[in-house]
Structure 1
Amino acid sequence: MKAWPNPFIEQRADPFILRHEGQYYFIASVPEYDRLEIRQAATLEGLRTAEAIVVWRKPFTGPMSKLIWAPELHNIDGVWVIYFAAAQTEALDSLGMFQHRMFALICHDADPLTGQWEEKGQIKTPFDTFALDATTFRHQGKQWYLWAQKAPDIAGNSNLYLAELENPWTLRGEPVMLSRPEFDWECRGFLVNEGPAVIVHGDRLFVSYSASATDENYCMGLLWIDLNADPLQADNWHKSPQPVFMTSYEHRQYGPGHNSFTETAAGENVLVYHARNYTEIEGDPLYDPNRHTRLKLIRWQENGMPDFGIPPADTDA
Structure 2
Amino acid sequence: MRNGSDPWVIGKDGYYYYSQTMGNRIVLWKTEKMSSLGTASQVTVYTPPAGASNSANVWAPELHYLDGKWYIYYTAGSGPDGTQRTWVLENASADPTTGTWTDKGRIFLADSDFWAIDGTVMEYNGQRYFIWSGRPDLSQQKQNLYIAKMGDPWTLTGTTTMISEPVISWEVNGGPVNEGPEYLTHNGKNFLVYSASGCWTDDYSLGLLTLKEAGNPLLATDWTKSTQPVFTKNTTGKAYAPGHNAFFKSKDGSEDWILYHANSNSGDGCGEKRTVRMQEFTWNADGSPAFGTPVATLQSKPVPSGE
Is residue 228 from structure 1 mapped to residue 214 from structure 2 by the alignment?
yes
Instruction: For CA contacts below 8 A with separation 6 or more, give which structure has more relative contact order.
Output: 1
Specify the SS of the correspondent of 1:185: helix
* Cα distance in 1 between the residues matched to 2:122 and 2:198: 26
Of the candidates 87, 99, 103, which is equivalent to residue 115 of structure 1? 99
TM-score (norm 2): 0.92
* Cα distance in 2 between the residues matched to 1:166 and 1:147: 16
Is residue 74 from structure 1 mapped to residue 58 from structure 2 by the alignment?
no
Deviation sequence 1:131-179 (CA, Å, 0-9, x none): 0001112210011111111124995431111111011111011122110
Specify the SS of the correspondent of 1:251: coil
Q: Quick one: percent identity of the two aligned structures?
A: 34
Deviation sequence 1:161-219 (CA, Å, 0-9, x none): 11110111110111221100101111111211000011111231010000111131211
Q: Check the 8 A contact 1:131/1:158 in 2, yes or no.
A: no
Q: Which residue of 2 aligns with 1:55?
A: 45
Q: Check the 8 A contact 2:247/2:258 in 1, yes or no.
A: yes
Q: Which residue of 2 aligns with 1:265?
A: 251
Q: CA deviation at 1:290?
A: 1.8
Specify the SS of the correspondent of 2:37: helix
Q: Which residue of 2 aligns with 1:104?
A: 88
Q: Which residue of 2 aligns with 1:249?
A: 235
Specify the SS of the correspondent of 2:6: strand
Q: Which residue of 1 aligns with 2:305?
A: none
Q: Which residue of 2 aligns with 1:5?
A: none
TM-score (norm 1): 0.89
Q: CA deviation at 1:314?
A: 1.4
Q: CA deviation at 1:316?
A: 5.5
Deviation sequence 1:54-94 (CA, Å, 0-9, x none): 001132202111111111000001110001101113xx1xx
Q: Check the 8 A contact 2:245/2:259 in 1, yes or no.
A: yes
Of the candidates 153, 167, 183, which is equivalent to residue 182 of structure 1? 167
Q: Give RMSD over aligned pairs.
A: 1.7
* Cα distance in 2 between the residues matched to 1:269 and 1:244: 16
* Structure-2 change in CA distance of 1:42 and 1:250 (3 Å): same
The answer for unaligned runs of 5 or more in structure 2 is: 301-307
Of the candidates 130, 147, 152, which is equivalent to residue 115 of structure 2? 130
Write the mapping of 1:1-80 to structure 2, written as runs, cut at 5 A.
8=1, 10-30=2-22, 33-80=23-70
Is residue 191 from structure 1 mapped to residue 167 from structure 2 by the alignment?
no
Deviation sequence 1:245-288 (CA, Å, 0-9, x none): 1111111111000001111023211111000101244xxx44x2
Corresponding pairs, count: 297
Specify the SS of the correspondent of 1:52: strand
Q: CA deviation at 1:240?
A: 0.4
1:206 aligned partner, one-letter code: F
Query: Which 4+ runs in 1 deviate beyond 6 A?
Result: none
